[in-house]
Structure 1
Amino acid sequence: MGDHPVVNKIQRTGFPNMVAQPEHTGIDYFGTEILEGDDIVEYDGEIILRDNLERYLTEVMEFEFKTA
C-alpha cells in the first residue's frame, strides 16, 4: 500500500515554504525584532517598536500612566 499523495509529494520535492517570512530590518531598544512594515518610533537615536512605546515611556522615561 502506498503513502498518502501529500507524503509522496513531500518525499519528491521537499517541504514547501509554508509562509513567506517578512524581511528582518533590525531590533528595537528592548531587543525585539523589527520586521518590514512594523510601526516604529525614533527618539534621541533610539528605535522603539510602536508596540513597545508605552513600555519605553514607563521604564525608560519614567512616565506614569493614570486614569483621570
Structure 2
Amino acid sequence: MNIEHPAITQTMETGYANMVSQPEHCGIDAMGDEILIGDSIIEIGGEIVLEENLEDYLIEYLGAQYKTAE
C-alpha cells in the first residue's frame, strides 16, 4: 500500500506550484543593489545608481550634504 499526501504527488508530477518567475537581472549598482529590467537608473561619472539609492550615493560617494534652507 502506497500512501502519499496529494500535495506531494502533485509536486512530483508538476513541480513546485509556488515558484514565481524572477525578473531578469541586469547587474549591480554602485551601492551594491541588484538592477532588474525596468528599474529607473541614473548614470553619474560612469557609475550606475538605482534611483532609490541616489540620495545615499550622493552622500557617501560625492560628499553631498542635505540641509534645510534658512
Question: Which band: TM-score by shorter chain?
Answer: 0.7 to 0.9
Counterpart position of 1:29? 30
Question: TM-score with structure 2 length normalisation?
Answer: 0.80
* Map of 1:67 onto structure 2: 68
Label 1:67 to 1:2 Cα distance change in 2 as closer, same or farther (>3 A): farther
Match of 2:15 in 1: 14
For 1:60 and 1:22, how far apart are their aligned partners in 2?
29
- How many percent identity over aligned positions? 51
- Write out the 4+ residue segments of structure 1 that deviate beyond 4 Å after TM superposition: none
One-letter code aligned to 1:52: N
CA RMSD of aligned residues (A): 1.8
Provide Cα deviations, 1:25-62, integer angstroms capped at 9, x if missing partner: 01111221101111100111110011110011111111
Which stretches in structure 2 are left out of the alignment for 5+ residues? none
Mapped pair 1:53 → 2:48? no
- Rounded Cα–Cα distance in structure 2 between residues aligned with 1:35 and 1:17: 21
How many residues are paired up?
Answer: 68
Give the Å deviation of 1:2: 4.2
